[in-house]
Amino acid sequence: MNNSIVSDKKNIRHSLRAKRKSIGKTERQQIQKQITRQLLPLIKRNSNIAAYMAFGSELDLSDFIRIAQKRGAKIWMPYIEKRQRRLWFSAYQSQAKNKEYAYGIVQFAGKKRRIESMQLVLVPLLGVDKTGIRMGQGGGYYDKSLSYCDRASRPKLIGVGFACQKVASLPKEPWDRALDAFICEEGVSYFSCHDIA
């Protein structure tokens, strides 16, 4: 990767993190409730949904996770193995005592699955552009994991976050996988011709 692209991405990430952090506590709570309501139609009984535990100023999905489990969906969380870029997903357990940590992120021990066994993947992000290209933390875990999926096994990929994370364009690499949609307090932006529900 060329040095100017690396530098551009670093600057963009810094700017987007600052925007996300600037959202006040009360506004953040209201936005999270709005987004949870928009996500509810995506819950299907017995479906496998990959979510995430909020880290830093990421959108908190706790309410969505609780409701999805009550409605009979199975929730899975990213699990990172050392020196591996391809993600596993482990079953979410609200009362888990056997938690592990990787890069400061909570992970759950136990049964694991790959991304291609999910029907829906809710992806954290720093930014998303008008074509559905997302900017994450820079580890490449989601893109690497999705590279193992063919069209038939690729889950719906939904970015979730705040409206301030939308930008006109982001640097795109050959391995970047576009989102199917992005959900924020302003509504849903679709990037795929396929229905996300």
Residue 35: predicted pLDDT:
97
Q: With respect to residue 76, please indicate whether it lies within any of the assigned structural domains.
A: yes
Here the tokens at position 77 are: 């969380």
Q: What is the CATH number of the domain that holds 34?
A: 3.40.50.10420
Residue 117 in contact with residue 156, Cβ under 8 Å? Answer: no
Query: Is-contact 178 154, C-beta < 8 A?
Result: no
Task: Please state the domain count of the chain.
Answer: 1
Are 167 and 131 in contact by the 8 Å Cβ rule? The answer is: no
- Weakly modelled stretches of the chain, pLDDT under 50: none
Q: What does the pLDDT look like over 1-11, one tens digit per residue?
A: 555 556 688 89
127 lies in a domain? Answer: yes
Q: Helix 25-39 to helix 62-70 angle, to the nearest 10 degrees?
A: 30
CB atoms within 10 A of CB 3: 7
Please, are residues 64 and 32 in contact by the beta-carbon 8 Å criterion? Answer: no
Answer yes or no: is 35 within a domain. Answer: yes
In a domain, 66, yes or no: yes
Question: Which pLDDT score, from 0 to 100, does residue 6 have?
Answer: 60
Domain that holds residue 71: 3-190
Domain-located, residue 8: yes
